[in-house]
Every structure is written in structure tokens, then in C-alpha cells.
Structure 1
């Protein structure tokens, strides 16, 4: 018994791994379970082991040697299946040879039409860890960090004839293999988006236009029929954007003002539980509490990967729009039923009854080497699952001693060079084996009404790329009269992508009977903003939508109006009118705020002058509070002007508006919190000295005055400035999860900007950096339930000096005015917590003075 107990945990030794946390015990919990063996099985036997939801059938499409180590796939218009092979990924547990140029792109073909691939052609070889592809004219766009290639097949024989670099892609640092761009997803509006990225691309005439967007996800990105984007983090099943992120980027305080919803990066699944059908101790931190169930199965997500939204026509109709999400560490693919109610999306985890395990995921295997890393829907409407089929899933940069010992003892490092691709079909529907024919303009236009999203997307792309003038007439008629709202939407965006959308057609689409078409007409119609002849006419057309019966259309109307220049009086008046009539809708307030770029205080003044904002309502109270909060977030020096507006409102008898504005200022100052904000002004506002204002105003001013200082923040000394500059460079590693501006990345890391954990007592921040923090933890009003590892385990923060540098940066960046730290102060805190081996909890940190 003593021997068994002694073997159940081990301290870190000289063979410590990159993923180890200094001094942390890693109990060998796998020895407490009956871990089944994980032998390599044939593709046919692996297929037989798969358990899928009732009514479905799984078919083997391809396997080694036709395809090896696949990470993503795509179909071309001929029905050929393209696969990206990351052959150099973790050749052994130490990653030796991971930068060898052995990656490939292969083209798989089904010669006899039976649904099984018969032939594999190496399209492109000699690649270093390729990770993403998109089918484009003449070939593919390929992401091979740091390169974005356009690789072409001039003669159609399946091999690359020419390759040119059309942009950058990702990070070539081999240590960041898990944390760099991927995706290359063609979207409804003809842009190409990525995960683990804040860029989107527009492909046109052999060139790539790059535009900044929201930073999204980690591995995998998908879209639904109406253009909403979905993604995930390794520990988060599903996140999504309710609206295009570009609207919130133009005004960073929209959706972040107190009380407003933030419709980008929504966490759609609150419970991250996973239900497998085998014991799963072979995960990186299986020793941590809550990672494994009592029976040894994976309890919660840890390696969520390339998801898809089902947009096909082979499954029953109730599956349309649902999400299928792989979890390769658990050897499963999960199914989530998505229900949309306005801008809210509810995801229901669909679990299957299982006689042995109680419940299981939609697709599951007892084979530990089943590694589903990507999903997509094919031309036949079936769900395709990419299985990297291997023992090692974790990259060397994060492997723990706990995992390494299992890999070695259980022989999970060999063999390599395998891979399978499966097709999931509904048994009650036929599977179309013949490729969809999209050879001419007429066929492509007709295909925009096809029930399969892949067919519609491909037809749209081909039409946009060709810009064939013969398509304009049929596309125009499709927008005007097709019975399919999806066809009308695709035709609208196809014309936009061809630069052939006429203003009169935009006007007609704005009157469409379908609110979803009207929303897309508003978005595509933004091309008329700034147009020499049609901008004023576009405003007139938008006026017809001011009283639209659909609330989502009204919200989109405000997003669209926010794109007009400040000097457009008619657009501004329309925006104010729509806002004033719909203040009870928080999304209306968010959309309106997104359009005032740097002029939120002016917007407040205009709202105060309107007769339709005189009567008090809960929505109007929220409006004035949120806009005041956003105005100060944008420029705290505007506080005196804001207080003068409060005085004016008091004189006009609008006490409730004055109170709401001050409540927004108090929220900005974080009055009542553990970390009140210090508002530095050149002089104290005269409003604070007035004694003739109503009592409710005086009380608020008194609380606000305690946060105001006329002592300006001391500038950084030369030594502090040097630490700040070095810390800014080091922060690039932190930005992978927390965003380049400290805004946070949904599903990966909470915001650092304005976070009390950053700008509060420095002892708390340093403890987090040294030992990590385990959720649940509240950050800026949102709850996070992840575990942050110590930054000392990342390989770039090697001494107290580097920690002093990065803490100095984050405590003085983004408008922060907190004290800086020295290496000596870091050393003192390190010494005081030298016995600590586990991540801190929020309660423990809050107890630190």
C-alpha cells in the first residue's frame, strides 16, 4: 500500500517539461484507473469502434497512405477533397524535427463514385507546418506561417505549377504552433476570416486586401447561413458574434459601457462538460481537480478544435444551423442545437443515451488515437470529420511531466504518419455521390438557391471571382423575385462582390418582406456611404426603415447609420430619432453608441436637446448613463464639460437626466469598488463647489469628487520608461490570450485594461504571474472559469527583471496610472510566496492587502 501511495505523485525533477509549473506536484492519477490500451487499429476497425447518434451512419472516406496527419480539408467545385497535412507535428514527445519541411497539401479523388477516395496527388510539398487553406480561382490560398501563398494548378492535374506569396500569415515561431492564425473561411460578405487572428482578407485579382477585425478564437472558425461567425477556445466549446465585429471596432466603448451588452465574442455554452466513452488520463493537466471524472474520463473541455455549423441538406431539417465541435483529447465530436432569439443564441448540448457510460457525445470512440481536429460540410451535405489519428496531441511547448510519462510508458509516441477522414450521414436520406455542376454562369446563379450552404458559397465565390457580366441580369432578377430568401441574400452579396450592385436594387432589397434580407441590404448598402451621387438618396431610403417592425432591422439600421461621416446632418438626425424611440432595447443603445467615434459627449448634448427624450423611462435612464460612461472612457478630461451638462439639465428641470449622467460618471470612476479610478484634471471643476444643486445631485458629486485629483500622474522616470519599453515587447506573448490592447479574447483570456486585478494592489498581480489563478474569477463584471498558468512557465519571463518589466507596462498602459514595480519588489513577493505551488483563487487574492 505504501508503495502505491508513494507512486501516486511526484515532485518535478531535472527532466521537467516546458508545461510544468515550478514546485507543483503532479499526482500520477492515471495509476488509480484501469486505463485501456491504445493500440493502433486499422481504418476499418477504427470505423467499427465509432459510436454515433441514432439514425446516423459513419463512413470511411480516406485513410493512410492516401492522407497522413491531416489538420483541415476543403472541397473544390469538381468534388475533389483537398487536405492539409501537418506531418512534422510532434514527431516525438520532444518535438524533434518539427520544423522539417515535410508538410504537404494533397488532393484526394473518388474515381468510381462510391464515396471513398481512390487516389491521392501531392499538390504541394516541402512545407513547414501548413495549417489552413481556402479554394480560390486557379488553386488555393495556403497558410504556412509566416507565409500566405497563392498556389495555382494551371493545367488541372492536381499539382502546383506556380506559387507566389500574397501576404503574411501567422507566426513562424515554432514555440507558438498552437497560438497563431488558422481558418481562411470565406464569408457571406466576400471576406476571408481567421481564428486566432485580428485580421480578415479580401481576395481579388490575385491580391489580398487586409483589414483589422476582432481577435477571435483559437483553432477553427465557422459561419451560419446569415453570416454570423462562430469559434472557440481550447477550453470553451462555442463562442459567437451576434453582429459584425467591425461595428464595435470603430467605437471601442460600445458594448463595454456599463449596462450594455457586448454582442461580439459571446460565450454560447456555459457548461464546458464533455462526455466521453473511455478513460482519458492522457491529457496535459489531468492531475488538476475537475479535469477528470471519478471514473477517469475527461470531465471538461481542454482541446476544443475546428468546428462547423451544419448548413447542408442531407441531415433532417432540425439540424440546420446546429454546431458540431470536435474535442480530440476526449476522442469525441459534440453536437449543439442552436436557437436564436434576436441577438441571443442559446446552445443546447445534445447528448446521447449510452448503456455503459450513461450519456455520450454525438460521435465518440473508445480509441484514444481518434483525434477529430476539424469538421466541415461537403458538397453532398454530409458532415466530414478530420481525424489526425495519433497518440500525441499536445505541443511540446506545453507538455507536462505528467503527460510525458504517460506518452512514454503507454507508447503513445509511435507510430506517426497516420490519418483518417470520415463522413457522417443520415441513414434516412440519400447521399449525392456526383459532384455539383457549376461550370457555367446559369448553373452558378441557379445554385444560389441550393439547399446546401457549400453549394451556395461556392457558386457565389465563382461568380465573384469571374465577374462575368452575363451574370448581372440573372442575379438582379434573383434579388428581386426569388422565392428563396437565402438566394436573394447570396445574389445581393454576389453583386456587391462583383462591384455590380445598383442603387435601385439596394432600395428594393431594403423593402424586402424578409427582415433577414433587409438586414443584409442595409449591410451591403453601406457601399453607398460616401458615394458622390447616391449617399443622400441612401439616407432617404434608410428613413423608410426608421419604424421597421423588426427590432433586429432597427438595430442594424443604427449600425449602418454609424458609418456616415460626422458632417452628415440628415443621417445624424435619423440616428438620433431612431435611438430616442427605441431606448428600451439595450442593443439599440449599443448600436447607436458604436457610431459616435470620439464624439460621445456631443451626442449626449444633442440627446439632451431633444423633445423626445424629456419623459423619463428605464431605457432613457440607461441611455444617458451609458453614453456618459463611454464619453469618459474615451476622454476623462471631458469630465468638467460633462458636469456643466449636469448643471444645465438641473436648470431645465431634467433631474433624472442629470442623475443618470452622473451615475455614468460614477461607474467610470469605479466609485464603491476596491479600485476606484483616480481622475486627473488640471483643476477641480467648479460644479463640485456648488451648493445650490438638488440633494441627489450633491450626493453624487460628493462621491465623485473623492476620485478627482489635480496632482497629475508623475511621468515615468528614465529607468521606468526603459522597463515599460521592455515590458511592451514582452507583452506580445500575453497578447495571444489577452489581446493587443488588453481588451481580452473571448474564450481565451479576460481583459487586462481597467481590470482591478492589474491596477489594484501590485502584490495580487505578481502572485498571479508567479503561480497562476484558477477560476471562477470576476473581471470587469464578467465571470471566467479557466485556469491561468504562471507566466514563468511560458519561457519568456525568466527572471524578476522581466516580470518587473511586464508589470510596469500593464499597470501604465491603456490609460492606467498605477505604480510601477522593480525587480527587487518582485523578488520580495516571490520570497514571501516561495512555498506556493497551486494557482491562487480569487478569494485568496482578495485577502492580499
Structure 2
């Protein structure tokens, strides 16, 4: 929904404990101590073994090396195919120095690694794809690997057809010819096949369905504004994060299909506070971001690579918890996900300490995963500079630190670790799903490790082997079928969604799931029923009506979302009744309010742009896309700013009704070209406004035209043309580090003086 009610985002996940082979103490016990080791650490790189010794974890947990340089270099993301082979995306040209010299050279790679002797360490490596420009996302689908790279919006499929470990087939599975001109930190940073059989990216307003080797796009209600990395829980709830405004968990309340929805109290104020064990002198915000007593980072600046742990070979109370790295803080924070009447909340698992913290200056955790062996995996880029050059210009705080410390020297390295526990043995069964029968894959739908369940479902859907439909229906309705025991709720959920993905779900199976004793199974069935509602199936609608008083808030909330998605007189009547009957359900009420506001805003925007000239309409429409993809991260999707829990400061000022935005065109053009720093109207904001001058004149004109002429933002002023931007650019000096408000006003005064001087006297 729209951002008129966008607040900070709070992370959540409903926890279904999966039995482990041992019971361990709760890791939330206060059984370890944070020890700050160095307030001004050395920048010298350490060997993997020495770096591991610098890591603090709760008792019983240990870090093991899976692979390191030279086998991998600059790793940013990993993924396993159905046979357990690991693909590693390497950004080999990322930030070689503060100026990002050679950053867009096509020399990055994706490697395929294998553990051939079963010792947990990778010992075989091939360059699966070479000569890429900063690969961003990797997603194995059967024997294909879907890949996206920086600045390009195509999605490619690569295959190794001759078994030599190198891709020799390349195809476009989704084509978008528009160049992505956003800073590389603001482009899509993740791709996941979710429980509902849709592929979701971290950003923008599209999701994809895989059909016959192609991706079919579906347009979402709102732009998602997550950044690097994303994750899902056992029940298909997605979790995003935003590094820009320092939001560790966003868009966690409902599926993006129904619109963006966030609450101001989604997570506790404590969860926004990292507790590093070394001084963090390379924080973008400088001294203001650090604790005076020990130089440690006191707020999120670059949270990314989050994951919900869903494995079975670590303590049971880790399952369903939310983990998010902070590479500037060199920590991984752990949050407990709480479901309160259908609303998701995240609480810090520890008091004034973090689950993992490193005293190695070059430790840069940027992605986390649940592995096939049931353990927790960490991608450590092990890189000196972790901030993109937009924020490391000469004269900037970070630019000076990089030069003084010599951080640019530390590159060409990288490590991947797994976290193990004394009480558990990693699963040593090597996956072989790509070669196994569909009947065997069905049995994995009840596996205690979510990685196995997810991949079994994915492979069954893309194979579409109708011979297993009967077994899937039996599992979905609670029969043993090919399993050795009665199917768990998770197995029943996966069986339902597998049937949905194979276009084999039928009404008897669905109706039986409506009456399942487990609320999450009933919720999944309601979600799946939308396929029948699209066909105006009145029988399904009336069966859904029997769930109006379901004891589970989650089921009733999903029911409201599902019914409003396919509007008929009967579904509208049922939604109205649900709202009346659940006056105190905050999520249901707020979701419907934002949904209706969103529809009104869209209608108003269509009416507004209809009255513009074709040229002006094109500018505003293009600018709206840019704003929602980029600017909304800090200014809020509705331009009212983004509020951060536990912090009275916003990342950036509101734009709604701003006299600066609606006023002098030259001033706002200069602001965008050079960026802005320092207090604004006497208020201090947590983020700097980066320079946007690297974009072309049309880009600048478009985004300013939208901001100045959008009913969504409450502004009504003239558009800005490309010609006007070109003229201002030619007469405005480049000012590294951004302009202050005073400097903008001085430039404005200078223009006025020149105008007055040239007037006839």
C-alpha cells in the first residue's frame, strides 16, 4: 500500500519448531559476555584461521571454514543446486579504491564449488561463468542458473550441457531492455523462489512465475524497496531490509502481492543497535555513528543478507529466528520473531551484545543462509572498502579514512564459513535431487531442514510429473502416502503448494485443507484458493465464508487479503464483515486502510497525469518509477519521510509540501546534481543526500518533475525539462561531498544579484 502510513519496518516470522536430534540450552540465556577487543584495530589482513579466532559466539557455537581465497574472491552471494553444488557470485571489481576505478569492467565471475570428500570443505572449483559485470543474484532452477548483473535488467539462464562445470548455454528468460542507471547499491540484490511458487526480487514492483523455461512477470501493487539479500520463513513470509535508512527488517507483515505494509513498532529499538567488539572508524556517518567510549557502531548503517534459520543441525531455538549481518559493525544480529495476533514483531535475542561479532577489521559478512547440511552459512567478502564510491568521494569522511588507513589495499580475498554446534553433527548426506525420481523428491517435503523441502517442491513443480499427484494429494490431506509417518503440517503445506504449482490442486483437496487442525495449513489453503476466485468460483467463495470466525488471526487476515484481491459483491460483503468482526486486529485494519488509500492515490495520479501534455506526462511517469525505486528508501514512498524505531531522527527530510521542492527549479537541480549535507532548516538527518550528477539530464528532469508535480506527494508545480537541467549543469561547479543549505542559498542569491545587475536602470 502507499506510504502515507509507511513507518519503519519490523521483522517477523512465525516459528514452527522442528524437532532436532538433541535438545540444547536456549541460546537467549545470558551465558556469554561481549568483550570489546580493540577500539582502533589494525587493517592488516588475517589468514582465515587467524580471523576465526577473532570471532565471538555464544558457548557451544563454532565457525568452520568452508572455502577461502584463492578459490573464491570477493564473494557476495551463494546458492546450492539440487545436487548440493555451491554457486558463488564474485564481484571481483568492487571498490578497488575510493574512486571505484575499473568497477564496471567485465571481469567478475560465478564459480561452482564442490566438496568431493564430504569433509565440509570445498575442494573442487570451476569458473561456471566468466567475464561478468558485478553479478548480483543467482538462483538455481533444476539444471539452470538464473543470473542478474549490475546495470542490466535482463534475467539470464545459464546451463552446463556437457558436464565440464562450465556454462555453455546462455538464454534470456526475462527481457527488459531499459538500462538500470541506479547506483549499484540500489539495484536488485536478491532473488528467491518462495513457497507460493513465485520468484521475488528485493526491489521494484515485479515478481515472476517460471513457465517452460521463461519467466512471466506479474506487477505488484507497490515497489518493494529492499536492498541486499532477502529471506523467507517456513510459511512463505518474505523478509527484506534497507541499508540506506538503517532499517534491519522491512515489508514483513504481508506478501508484496497485497501491497507494502509496515508498522512503526515492527521491531524493538534494541534491535536497531549493533554491539561490535572493535572500533568502527569506517562508518559512513563518522563520529556521530559511534559510541564515544569505545568507537563501536551504535546504529545500523548497512544491514544486509538476512536469513531466517530453517535448518535442523543447530539448537532448536534458532529455528525461525532472524539473522542479519552488519558488515560495517562486523557483527551478525539475531532477532526472535514473534507473532502477536497476526502481526509480526522482532525482538533482540540478547541484551547489549550480538550473536556473532568479529574483531577482524576486514571481516565483512554480507549474506547468510541455511545450508543443505542443516547448518548456518556466512558469506564474508573480506574486503577493505564496503561502501560504494558515491559515498567515498575525495574530501568525504569515508574518503579520508580509506586513504589514511589504506583500506583500498585489502581486496582479492573472501571466505565462506559455516557455524556448527558442539551438540550437533552436520548432515553428511550429499543431495542428489537432480538425478532422483519424482517419487523420492516427494518424501523430502517432510524433511526437517527447510532447504530440502524448498528444493524438492521447486524441482517437482518444474518437472510437472503428474504421476506423483495422487501421493501429493494424500500428503496434503494428512495421509502417509509415500512417507514413513503421518505428514507434518509443513509437509502438508508443501504438498498443497506443489499441487498448486503443478496446476493439479482440486477443490476436494483444498476444502479438506480448510478444515485442517493446523492454522498454517488452513492459511495456505486460503491463499491457494485465489486461483479459483479468479474464475469466479462461487462454491469456493462460500467455503471460504465458513472460515470467517476461524480461531486463528493469521487465517482471518489471509482471508481478508484473499477476498479483497478478487472483488465481487459477495467477496466485498465478506471483507466488510471481517473488518466489523475484528475491530482490534491492527494488521487487518491497517492493511485495508492502506489498500483503499493506495487505490485512491493511484486514481488521483491517473487523473492528474491525464491533464498533462504527452511530453510532461512521460517525464512524470518516468520520474515516478525512479522515485519509487530509489528515493522512497530514505524519503518514504509517500514523501513523508521514514521513521526509525527508537530514533527521533529521519534518514532524510519529508518532501510533501516542501517549499524548496516546489520553488526554485535551479536550486533543486543543483541539489540533485551535487547532493546535500549538513542540517536542513535547523534539523539534522541521519543520511547524506548523495550526488546524482552521474545520471543524465533526462533522469534528473524526470525525478524532479515527479516530485514537483505529484498528487501522491501533495505537490503541484511545473515540470523540469532536460534542457533546464543541462543549462544548470553547465553553470554549476562540482562540489565533492555535497552542498550545504547555506551554499544552495548563496548560489540562489548570486543568481538574483546577476539578474538585478542586468536589469535596465
Q: Same fold (TM over 0.5)?
A: yes
How many pairs does the alignment contain? 664
Deviations 1:164-191 (A, max 9, x none): 1112479855761111012111100011
Counterpart Cα distance in 2 of 1:730 and 1:554: 38
Do 1:555 and 1:591's aligned partners in 2 also have CA atoms closer than 8 Å?
no
Match of 2:166 among 153, 159, 165: 159
Which residue is equivalent to 1:35? 40
1:742–1:751 contact (8 Å) kept in structure 2: no
8 Å contact from structure 2 (residues 210, 216) kept in 1: yes
Q: What is the aligned partner in structure 2 of residue 142 from structure 1?
A: 147
Partner of 2:579: 579
Do residues 795 (structure 1) and 693 (structure 2) align?
yes
Secondary structure class of the residue paired with 1:314:
coil
**Aligned partner (choices 812, 825, 831) of residue 709 of structure 2:** 812
Distance 1:411 1:575, change over 3 A: closer
Of residues 405, 418, 433, the one that matches 1:423 is 418
Contact 1:242 1:263 in 2 (8 A): yes
Alignment pair present for 1:196 and 2:203 = yes
Cα distance in 1 for residues equivalent to 2:144 and 2:325:
28
Q: Contact between 2:671 and 2:744, CA under 8 Å: does it hold in 1?
A: no
Contact 1:217–1:747 under 8 Å retained in 2: no
1:211 corresponds to:
218
Which piece of structure 1 moves more, 164-173 or 295-304? Answer: 164-173
SS of equivalent to 1:833: helix
Instruction: Name the CA shift for 1:787/1:188 in 2 (closer, same or farther; >3 Å).
Output: same
Who is 1:102 aligned against? 107
Any idea what the Cα deviations from partners look like across 1:702-738, whole Å, max 9, x if unmatched?
xxxxxxxxxx99988x9xx978866765666544333
Tell me the equivalent position of 1:564: 566
Q: Which residue matches 1:223?
A: 232
Alignment of 1:248-647 (within 5 A): 248=259, 262-263=261-262, 267-271=266-270, 272-287=272-287, 289-351=288-350, 360-400=353-393, 401=395, 402-438=397-433, 439-481=436-478, 482-531=486-535, 535-566=537-568, 569-590=569-590
Q: Which moved more, 1:576-585 or 1:164-173?
A: 164-173
SS at match of 2:498: helix
**For 1:713 and 1:80, how far apart are their aligned partners in 2?**
51
* Displacement after TM superposition at 1:565 (Å): 4.0
CA distance in 2, matches of 1:631, 1:116: 52
| 768 and 430 in structure 1: CA distance in 2 versus 1, 3 angstrom threshold | same
For the residues of structure 1 that align with 2:419 and 2:621, how far apart are their CA atoms?
Answer: 48
Counterpart of 2:248 in structure 1 is 237
Q: Is the 8 A contact 2:181 2:695 kept in 1?
A: no
TM-score, normalised to structure 2, is 0.78
Could you tell me which residue of structure 2 aligns to residue 129 of structure 1?
134
Q: CA deviation at 1:583?
A: 3.4
| Alpha carbons of structure 1 residues 209 and 166: separation in structure 2 relative to 1, 3 Å | same
Distance 2:544 2:740 in 1: 64
SS across alignment from 2:469? helix
Q: Distance in 1 between matches of 2:72 and 2:524?
A: 40
Say which of 755, 771, 781 aligns to 2:656: 755
CA distance in 2, matches of 1:797, 1:136: 35
Q: CA deviation at 1:362?
A: 1.5
Given that 1:241 and 1:266 are in contact with CA atoms closer than 8 Å, whether structure 2 keeps it comes out as: no
Q: Name the residue aligned to 2:54.
A: 49
What's the counterpart of residue 25 of structure 1? none
- CA shift digits 1:6-50 (9 cap, x unpaired): xxxxxxxxxxxxxxxxxxxxxxxxxxx963321112122112222
Instruction: Pick the aligned partner of 1:736 from 612, 626, 629.
Output: 629
CA RMSD of aligned residues (A): 3.9
Distance change (3 Å), C-alpha of 1:582 and 1:328:
closer
The answer to whether the aligner puts 1:834 opposite 2:743 as a matched pair is yes
CA distance in 1, matches of 2:257, 2:329: 35
Does structure 1 retain, via aligned residues, the 8 Å contact 2:662–2:708?
A: no
Q: Determine if contact 2:234/2:450 at 8 Å carries over to the other structure.
A: yes
Secondary structure of the corresponding residue to residue 295 of structure 1: coil
Kindly tell me: are residues 768 and 112 of structure 1, through their superposed partners in 2, closer, same or farther at Cα, counting changes over 3 Å?
same
- CA positional deviation for 1:753: 9.6
Q: Measure, in 2, the Cα distance between the counterparts of 1:444 and 1:475.
A: 11
- Higher relative contact order by CA 8 Å / sep ≥ 6: 1 or 2? 2
Give 1:755 deviation, angstroms.
2.9
Q: Using the TM superposition, name which of 191-200 and 370-379 deviates more.
A: 191-200
Asked whether the equivalents of residues 708 and 719 of structure 2 are also in contact (C-alpha less than 8 Å), the reply is no
Q: Kindly state the Cα deviation for residue 404 of structure 1 after the two structures are TM-superposed.
A: 2.3
- Cα distance in 2, alignment partners of residues 238 and 178 from structure 1: 17
Taking a change above 3 Å as real, the CA distance of residues 405 and 572 of structure 1, as seen in their structure-2 partners, is closer
Gaps of 5+ in 1: 1-32, 250-261, 353-358, 597-628, 638-679, 681-711, 779-784, 838-849
1:232-281 CA-to-partner distances (Å, cap 9, x unmatched) read 111222224212122237xxxxxxxxxxxx45898435342211111111
Q: How far 1:552 moved relative to its partner?
A: 2.4
Q: Is the contact made by 1:181 and 1:194 (CA closer than 8 Å) also made in structure 2?
A: yes
**SS of residue in 2 equivalent to 1:284:** coil
Q: Whose radius of gyration is greater, 1 or 2?
A: 1
CA-CA distance at 1:467 after TM superposition: 0.8
Q: Which of 54-63 and 763-772 deviates more? A: 763-772
Verify: 1:68 aligned to 2:63, yes or no. no
Q: Given that residues 99 and 174 in structure 1 are in contact (C-alpha distance below 8 angstroms), is that contact kept between their aligned partners in structure 2?
A: no
Q: Which residue of 2 aligns with 1:647?
A: none
Q: Which runs of 5+ in 2 are unaligned?
A: 1-37, 479-485, 645-649, 732-738, 747-761
Between the aligned partners of 1:157 and 1:831, the Cα distance in structure 2 is: 57
Query: In structure 1, which of residues 151, 161, 177 is the aligned counterpart of residue 184 of structure 2?
Result: 177
Alpha carbons of 1:747 and 1:233: their partners in 2 closer, same or farther (altered >3 Å)? Answer: farther
Identify if the C-alpha distance between structure 1 residues 589 and 102 changes in structure 2 by more than 3 Å, giving closer, same or farther: same
Higher mean C-alpha deviation, range 725-734 or range 505-514: 725-734
Structure 2 CA distance for partners of 1:82 and 1:542, relative to 1, 3 Å: same
Which string of whole-angstrom CA distances, capped at 9 and with x for unpartnered residues, describes residues 653-687 of structure 1? xxxxxxxxxxxxxxxxxxxxxxxxxxx9xxxxxxx
In the alignment, the residues of structure 2 paired with residue 832 and residue 388 of structure 1 have an alpha-carbon distance, to the nearest angstrom, of 37
Assess if the C-alpha contact under 8 Å between 1:738 and 1:750 holds in 2. no
Question: Residue 46 of structure 1: SS of its match in structure 2?
Answer: helix
2: CA distance, partners of 1:479 / 1:775: 58
* Equivalent of 1:113 in 112, 118, 134: 118
Alpha-carbon distance between aligned partners in 2 of 1:154 and 1:194, rounded to the nearest angstrom: 27
Shift of 1:211: 1.5
SS in 2 for 1:422: strand
Q: TM (normalized to structure 1)?
A: 0.71
C-alpha deviations, 1:715-774, integer Å up to 9, x for none? 88x9xx978866765666544333499446978998999934479985999699774577
Q: Deviation at 1:405?
A: 2.6
2:266, 2:344 within 8 Å by CA — same for their partners in 1? Answer: no
Q: Secondary structure at the match of 1:552?
A: helix
- Once residues 129 and 831 of structure 1 are traced to their aligned partners in structure 2, the CA distance between those partners, rounded to angstroms, is 33
Deviation at 1:635, TM superposition (A): 6.5
Matches within 5 A, 1:764-783: 771=676
